Amino acid sequence: MENDAHKKFAILMGMLGTAFSDKGILAAKIEMYWEHLHGLPIDALGEAVCRIIKTRKFSSFPTIAEIRDAVLGNDDEIERAALEAWGRAERAVSRGIHLKDGSAMDEAICVAFGGWNEFGATDPENSIADRAHFIRVFKGLARARREKGELALEPGREPIVLPKGQDVVHKLTDKFRS
């Protein structure tokens, strides 16, 4: 199983090598990247590789940190998600809806305010302070997940890690063939 996961990982690294290097990628580099990235969810790694290939502006091979950020979420993505979550939460409460769905937004509402009922009962005059508090909590929770090697913006998600693997590589390579 470990060998199969390593092959899938090597294919993903080969895709990056093809996109960002005229010389491909050395086996030693694949091994070094494997050592630092093998515990990440394979589906998220595959999505991150596709996103990097589509959006990266530099022609050099992505660093381990860049790939890790693309998989787990970086500070800019967390900030943007926190701001979007605050807007969704405010709109939901203004319509009398409590979104208890286990999302990062739901988790932050529960931690920051004690739950949706309490959030809905906050004083509108404190909205600036409440927003700042929510965003601080949201970002803190997301960063804590990221530090544990979990996807920053998906609490409670059961990751499928490379050693157990899923056959997403064929789906990814099929995308590039069509």
Q: What is the pLDDT of residues 83-132, one digit of tens each?
A: 999 999 999 999 988 888 888 899 999 999 999 999 999 999 999 999 99
Q: For residues 38 and 51, state if they share a domain.
A: yes
How many structural domains does the chain have?
A: 2
* pLDDT at 91 (0 to 100): 93
| Same-domain check for residues 112 and 141 | yes
Give me the pLDDT at residue 143, please. 86
Is residue 132 a part of any domain in this protein?
yes
Considering the domain boundaries, does residue 105 fall inside one?
yes
Within-domain flag for 58: yes
Cα distances from 128 to residues 52, 123, 132, 134, 135, in angstroms, run: 35, 10, 6, 10, 11
Q: Is residue 153 part of a domain?
A: no
Lookup result for tokens 């990056």:
16
Within a domain: residue 35? yes
Predicted local distance difference test score (pLDDT) of residue 110: 93
What is the extent of the structural domain holding 56?
Answer: 2-73+158-177
At 33, is the pLDDT very low, low, confident or very high (cuts 50, 70, 90)?
very high
Mean pLDDT of the region 152-174: 47
Clarify whether residues 102 and 69 are in a common domain: no
152 is a domain residue: no
Largest CA distance in the chain: 61
| Residues 54 and 80 both lie in one domain | no
Considering the domain boundaries, does residue 28 fall inside one? yes
Instruction: Say yes or no: 102 and 40 in one domain.
Output: no
Distance CA 164, CA 54 (A): 27
The pLDDT assigned to 112 comes to: 94
Tell whether 137 is covered by a domain.
yes
Task: Quick: pLDDT tens for 40-93.
Answer: 877 888 889 999 999 999 989 999 999 988 888 788 888 999 999 999 999 999
- In this predicted structure, the answer to whether residue 157 has a pLDDT above a threshold of 70 is no
- Identify whether residues 166 and 143 lie together within a single domain: no
Same domain, 8 and 67: yes
Residues 124, 62 share a domain: no
pLDDT at site 75 = 84
Q: How many CB atoms lie within 10 A of CB 157?
A: 13
DSSP 140-159: HHHHHHHHTTS-TT-TT---
